[in-house]
Amino acid sequence: MNLDTPSATYAGRERRQHRVYVTRNTEYHFREQTCVAVRDRKTGRFLASHLAIRRTLSGGVRYHANGSAVPSYAPPEVGEALYFDECAGARELVTSLCSSIQRPERTVVASYPPA
C-alpha cells in the first residue's frame, strides 16, 4: 500500500501537512499554511531569500477574461495565483498562476533548507 496516496474509502480529516503549489517557474512548498521552501523549477535549487519563505498563505487571486482580479481567502486552486497578505512590514505578494497542486515526496521534505 502506498502511504502517499489516500485511500478512496478514507473519509476522515486530511492529516498530511505538506503540499506544493507549482507555478510556471517556481514551486512553493508549504507545511500547513506556512511557506517553508521555494524551489526554482529550472535549476531544481531551493531559493534561500524568496519573499514567500516563512510567510502564511492568505488565499488566492482569480483573474477573469476581462482582466479583473478577484482575491479570495480560500485556498488557491489551479488557475489562480497565490496571495500572501502584508505582515510584519513585508509587502503583499502575488505569484503567477498555479498550474498544479501536489504532495511532495518524503525525500523532498527532508531536503528543505533549515528555517
Q: Tens of pLDDT along 3-29?
A: 445 556 767 665 679 999 999 999 999
Instruction: Determine contact, residues 31/38, Cβ cutoff 8 Å.
Output: no
- pLDDT of 107: 94
- Average pLDDT (110-115) is 89
Model confidence at 88, in pLDDT bands (50, 70, 90)? confident
79-87 long-range contacts (CB < 8 A, ≥24 apart) are: 81/23, 82/21, 82/23, 82/28, 82/52, 82/57, 83/57, 83/58, 83/59, 84/35, 84/51, 84/52, 84/55, 84/56, 84/57, 84/58, 85/56, 85/58, 87/55, 87/56
Q: Whole-model pTM? A: 0.84
- Residue of 68 and 4 predicted with greater confidence: 68
